[in-house]
Structure 1
């Protein structure tokens, strides 16, 4: 009808209205043939024709509601096409009809659910509020229907639509697409898994979405998928790979992603897997950066409080010991992360040994920046237990030696130096740790710790082979030193090559 002139269209609308008024004629039987033309008329340039078409459609919709036998399928195909019309009124009318069909159609519409969903999801982000409201209501109605494959419910077709809408430019549509992934996964995990190969990568890519709300929903979907261990490993490996290639994502979203995964999958499980992957990471610079990021999250996030509590028992509890050893293997990539882990585990003797093992090349700007962060974190509630232990300096002398060791590494004019020195000045030294004539308690602390008579930091300190751990730390740091030397050598060679080329050009010109 869209190619007819206004007079013919007006005649047809009038004729439809007349036929509709004749009681002996079943207009619903003709409706699929008229429906497409009537929707064309909704965007007609003539206001009168638009009104007549709308009135006729309203009449038809009312008859559909009152009729027990309606062919919803043929009409649904037309409505789905019209839902994408550039005309606002046409979109609203088609979405309204779809909404009624979903409520009335029942089993007849099951084979058309994917097509209907494909029409609804974009309308959820429509500029017109009325369309958004109807689309959301229809989406909820559709998601609440408990159809199965025996009734023609095609989960694969719906997943194709949901995957397509993950690329929508509108956040609201992407969010609803993710809700459909969750719904289908909960409704039938076995059926969902059959299509997982085709949607897993798009879901992983969605972790880089600019919207935090979308990323959180993506993580929820992945958490459900990751109930199977090989999918969990794939997810963790992908995250490491993504953070490696996108340092900005790690900086801006790393904490959000890691914290949420810890809530959904368990902090210990997540951290153990990250550590396992990072132990063999070939890019040492990235491994160090990633470990530092994970360590900072460990020390600051409320979601990881239980993990910190378990680490505090590393010297007296088998589970805590296993976790400590699991993390230590990769935490060795960063001296400051290693020291932080030891402070959490109350392995103060080993922390002091790590500090003493540091060489001149280890103490660089990056190290001092990390050290500055640690000193400030020592003043937070997370390390309240450590500060309270300073009330008994005779019992925790290795802790004092560790803190004084950190103090000696800091530039004296730095804010971190002043913070730590102020803290150490408040330590109530007893008669057993009386200041010497030099008025410096550190020399007395050194004597006590070296004698070993007063070290009560760890009732079961021998449970962990710290001598082997120190060798492990030293070996990893030596790899980093060699890597740094190779980098410097490469830069020198590149600079020399450039200089040689410049001199050659100058000589050629002369």
Structure 2
């Protein structure tokens, strides 16, 4: 210290700490001359002592003016050293950087000025302090004093020039600091960071693209900044990097894909659009590198397919199609289970388009990797079944397509039909709303006969008799009315003459017995008119309730459709189809006369040729009767038909089967009625208590009611 004091006159030291800038400046010029002389004489120890004096007595002084003088003194000493300055930078730069955090804004300002002058002298030798200088400038870019900000910007531009011209800059050492600072939200800092990223990327010798994954997330963060300028700068930087990616043979797609997937779910529209655009390019360019990330990418794409912004939807759909067109193998890291999990997750998406695409993915995986998909099926099957209740018809149809693809295996076919029945059972609204569509689609995809046989097998043993009856009625109506089941109807029409038709008839009959009207309909379809008549005659009073009459009304109306055209034409030959007439008259007599169905059926029967309704008269007529030959043919045909039928199907056993099933239904109905009566009795007791408590008249008994019967009809 004593040596240093002897080097600098006392008057210079006083002026260096003066409050006036001009005096400090003149003192600095004196110091510059002193250092220059020492440098020429190679008195570097004395120079070090002088710098140490400036540090201890000025730069770290509690007096602001002393600190200002110390800063200008450092700059002067550096200028005096000129080419010799590099060996003293470790003494000079640290106290200057320390001043960047000074509480006095004027000190911070002079620190920027001093470092600017130092940097101009040493240029590339300055690089060893780059990270510390960058960190200091990063903070000063958000300084509260605009003058300090302005000085920091000037220094920043000079540092950028030095770095771009230097071959000593280490990007590897800089990137960790950049990555750390990228999460700062201050707009001034963000502008500062984007500016540096852009500058460094413009230097051919610096491979910023290779380190892009380290700060890519930070750039995407800036896309949602409240400042339009920052968003624009970040977007410009990202666009430049994307262009470089397209032209670069070596890119780390994987790490960046993880970032993009996260950003695709951003609440900010511009961020989503940019990230999905990047993903689209990655899918095109990434190739095998992206295979392990397909599930994550798909998880980002599917929600964007339903985005409220049209641009995002377009890019997402395009990306989805490109991704689905790629044939990847599990051996390459293609995680089928992960993709299935994503698709299963999006089956419950609130957006219909996303649910549809999720189903397309499951179908695609089944087509390309059936064995692997089946092995993971237990994790997805329940979700697929739940989707049968989806609000969208298109979704339900796609679900059925997927189920049909799975059900090519017998094990899953039986399971599918069982679970469909179960879903209908627990959700009657689903049966009413979607039952016909689901059954018809399954019949198209999986063979109608096979589907109906399986339904019948399940319903035959179903313990819930009410549900069985409803389900059979629904299946019967679908069978009679759907164009998709035309082949099945043709097969049933030949039930009395072919083994296949007979076997199908017997198979369905076992569950159709749950519903009298379904049984009669099946017999009419199979042209088993004799048995249909027997079924009608076996019905008891308890069987003919309101539900039965509703079903009968539907059947009568169906008899007028093209499906039953063959039956109506058979009425032209009453001799060959006597039991058909008897069956139809039986149905007519079960209908209330005032019903529309009664009028429809009666009108139809009136069109039957007159001899059809006078058979009994013809039987008793003379042998000369012109209809005697027709009567004989009728009798012969009846005998022959009966023989053929008996040889094919054991109808007495079928009738017994039907009657047993109806007895079960009657017992069940009585049990249910008793339960209701029990409840009703309890209610009646409460009513009686209320009546007695209010001294009101008892409720009238039926015997007391006036029936308004005519006198002659009373007993």
Q: Same fold (TM over 0.5)?
A: yes
CA shift, 1:429, in A, is 3.3
Which sits farther off after the overlay, 46-55 or 254-263? Answer: 46-55
Which sits farther off after the overlay, 181-190 or 98-107? Answer: 181-190
Taking structure 1 as reference, are residues 431 and 379 closer, same or farther at Cα in structure 2, changes over 3 Å only?
A: closer
Q: Is the 8 A contact 1:398 1:455 kept in 2?
A: no
Residue 382 of structure 1, aligned match among 563, 567, 572: 563
CA shift, 1:430, in A, is 3.9
Residue 645 of structure 2, aligned match among 452, 457, 461: 461
1:393 counterpart residue number: 574
Taking structure 1 as reference, are residues 95 and 459 closer, same or farther at Cα in structure 2, changes over 3 Å only?
A: farther
Which sits farther off after the overlay, 2-11 or 183-192? Answer: 2-11
2:671 counterpart residue number: 486
SS for the counterpart of 1:138 is: helix
User: How is 1:351-390 mapped onto 2 (pairs within 5 angstroms)?
Assistant: 351-390=532-571
1:291 counterpart residue number: 472
- Any stretches of 5+ residues in structure 2 without a counterpart? 1-181, 619-627, 696-715
2:302 counterpart residue number: 121
Q: Is the 8 A contact 2:575 2:635 kept in 1?
A: no
Residue 225 of structure 1, aligned match among 392, 395, 406: 406
Q: Is the 8 A contact 1:348 1:457 kept in 2?
A: no
Rounded Cα–Cα distance in structure 1 between residues aligned with 2:690 and 2:531: 57
Deviations 1:287-318 (A, max 9, x none): 11110000000000000000000000000000
1:196 counterpart residue number: 377
TM-score, normalisation: structure 1: 0.94
CA shift, 1:203, in A, is 1.0
Q: Is the 8 A contact 1:315 1:459 kept in 2?
A: no
Rounded Cα–Cα distance in structure 2 between residues aligned with 1:276 and 1:434: 42
Q: Is the 8 A contact 1:35 1:78 kept in 2?
A: yes
Rounded Cα–Cα distance in structure 2 between residues aligned with 1:161 and 1:332: 45
Taking structure 1 as reference, are residues 291 and 431 closer, same or farther at Cα in structure 2, changes over 3 Å only?
A: closer
User: How is 1:84-123 mapped onto 2 (pairs within 5 angstroms)?
Assistant: 84-123=265-304
TM-score, normalisation: structure 2: 0.68
- Any stretches of 5+ residues in structure 1 without a counterpart? 438-443
Rounded Cα–Cα distance in structure 2 between residues aligned with 1:434 and 1:477: 33
SS for the counterpart of 1:177 is: helix
Q: Say whether 1:206 aligns with 2:391.
A: no
User: How is 1:140-289 mapped onto 2 (pairs within 5 angstroms)?
Assistant: 140-289=321-470
Taking structure 1 as reference, are residues 496 and 433 closer, same or farther at Cα in structure 2, changes over 3 Å only?
A: closer
Rounded Cα–Cα distance in structure 1 between residues aligned with 2:522 and 2:560: 16
Which is greater in Rg? 2
Taking structure 1 as reference, are residues 60 and 306 closer, same or farther at Cα in structure 2, changes over 3 Å only?
A: same
2:600 counterpart residue number: 419
Q: Is the 8 A contact 1:315 1:321 kept in 2?
A: yes
Rounded Cα–Cα distance in structure 2 between residues aligned with 1:504 and 1:359: 39
2:251 counterpart residue number: 70
CA shift, 1:435, in A, is 7.7
CA shift, 1:37, in A, is 1.2
Q: Say whether 1:477 aligns with 2:632.
A: no
CA shift, 1:132, in A, is 0.5
2:517 counterpart residue number: 336
Count of matched residue pairs: 502
Which structure is richer in relative contact order (CA contacts within 8 A, separation 6 or more)? 1
| RMSD across aligned positions (CA) | 2.2
CA shift, 1:3, in A, is 2.5
SS for the counterpart of 2:610 is: coil
Rounded Cα–Cα distance in structure 2 between residues aligned with 1:99 and 1:431: 76
Q: Is the 8 A contact 2:201 2:209 kept in 1?
A: no
Q: Is the 8 A contact 1:407 1:420 kept in 2?
A: yes
